[in-house]
Amino acid sequence: MNTMKSILMATTIAALMLLGACNGNQQNEHGDHEHHDEMEATEAGHDHSIMEEHHNKMEQGENIHRQHTSIRDNFANQDIIILDDPYRADAAVNQDLEEVVDAYLEMKNALVNSNVAAADKAAVEMAEKVAAVDGSSLKTKGTEAWEQHSSLYTAKLAELQHVKNLEEKRSYFSHISEIVYCTVKSFDLKKDMELYATYCPMAFEGKGAYWMAEAREVRNPYFGEKMMQCGEVKEEL
């Protein structure tokens, strides 16, 4: 009898030990599975972060491209050449082109002050700077762009000087501003100059107009003191 009890007790203990070992293995397997899931989740999260960062960078680039396109598409003159891949002119030509832009900025400031005489003087200086650009070193698309731009500058500057009315001068100035934007973009002058494409939606009876400025502060050349702060920066060149 005692022998039977001993056997039964030993069998029970063995069964309990086997059950405990089985449960322990199940727990280990469950723990390993959870650990694997956590690793997969971490890796997935890491991959998602990389993809999201890449997507954001692409989106920023597309936004810049859309901004550039939208400004160009809003110009009154759509036939001005603007090179998507800027032409790298030599240092001497770049200097000449920057002097053209400097003369333009003088004219802009004269119109901000509603000073007709100063605007005409700056227009004469700008025409001289345009004529002084030595484009002989330019090739292919650089030559094509500058030949068109210089021709447009010469015509519009002559017309600006010919008209006497301040508002008419401002109208020609808006055309010249669009050419300046295309020159700056086409020859990558923005690397050496701090310029801002600024827009006034109220100019010319609500048709709107752009101008290039050397500072973020809005000083409107289309209204002067009447609405000096009317406008906003649309693009930093």
- With bands split at pLDDT 50, 70 and 90, how would you rate the model's confidence at 7? very low
Residue listed under structure tokens 């310029």: 195
Identify the residue with better confidence: 98 or 78.
Answer: 98
Instruction: Note the pLDDT of residue 172.
Output: 97
Sign of CA dihedral 32, 36, 42, 45: negative
Instruction: Note the pLDDT of residue 77.
Output: 78
pTM of model > 0.85: no
pLDDT of 25 higher than 50? no
Q: What is the mean pLDDT of the chain?
A: 80
| Tens-place pLDDT, residues 176-221 | 999 999 999 999 997 677 899 999 999 999 999 999 999 999 999 9
- Encoding tokens for residue 178? 């669009």
Instruction: Note the pLDDT of residue 11.
Output: 44
- With bands split at pLDDT 50, 70 and 90, how would you rate the model's confidence at 78? confident
56-74: b (≥16 Cβ within 10 Å) or e: eeeeeeeeeeeeeeebeee
